[in-house]
């Protein structure tokens, strides 16, 4: 189409999907969440809203990351894991799954029982929140590198 090969179209679609995921990470973590906490008096409401946004971005990440890996597996076969970019996407997926599947449920449980200021639950919540923040930072930086360098690097035309 338009004189552009299917390989180039596919690489472009992968890059757009990756940018959608990584852009969501950056916007949610470094624009929206700080803005919510800066502009809202009710910190619990700000936290709930930020949590919903992070959850949505996490699900987007799981879908996009899985799609990118599936694309690589289909196109590269057993060689897909040799690519450092594939390993980075796999690591990013593991970090998202760890956040969604482990940290968020633990934080949710603490909220259900109630978190009194200065309590052991508050300290545990702070540790879990810190761990989630670190995972988010790592994914943000890994994703930025992938977007900047291209998911597949230079696209080589098949002859």
Q: How far apart are CA 94 and CA 107, in angstroms?
A: 18
Model pLDDT for residues 8-65, shown as the tens digit of each residue = 888 888 999 999 999 999 999 999 999 999 999 999 999 999 999 999 999 999 999 9
- Contacts of residue 138, Cβ cutoff 8 Å, sequence gap at least 6: 95
Model pLDDT for residues 72-96, shown as the tens digit of each residue = 888 888 888 888 889 999 999 999 9
* Ramachandran sector of residue 128 (left: φ over 0; alpha: ψ -120 to 50; beta: rest): alpha
- At residue 156, the pLDDT reads 53
pTM over 0.85: yes
Model pLDDT for residues 88-139, shown as the tens digit of each residue = 999 999 999 999 999 999 999 999 998 999 999 999 999 999 999 999 999 9
């Amino acid at each position: 189409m338009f004189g552009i090969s299917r390989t180039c179209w596919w690489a472009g679609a992968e890059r757009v999907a990756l940018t959608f995921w990584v852009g969501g990470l950056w916007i949610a973590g470094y624009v929206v969440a700080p803005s919510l906490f800066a502009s809202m008096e009710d910190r619990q409401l700000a936290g709930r809203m930020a949590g919903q946004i992070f959850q949505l971005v996490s699900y987007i990440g799981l879908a996009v990351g899985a799609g990118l890996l599936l694309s690589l597996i289909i196109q590269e076969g057993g060689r897909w894991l040799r690519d450092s970019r594939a390993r980075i996407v796999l690591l990013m997926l593991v970090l998202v799954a760890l956040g969604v599947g482990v940290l968020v449920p633990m934080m949710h449980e603490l909220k259900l029982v109630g978190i009194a200021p200065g309590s052991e639950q508050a300290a545990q919540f702070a540790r879990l929140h810190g761990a989630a923040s670190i995972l988010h930072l790592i994914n943000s930086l890994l994703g930025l590198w992938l977007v900047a360098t291209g998911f597949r690097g230079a696209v080589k035309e098949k002859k």
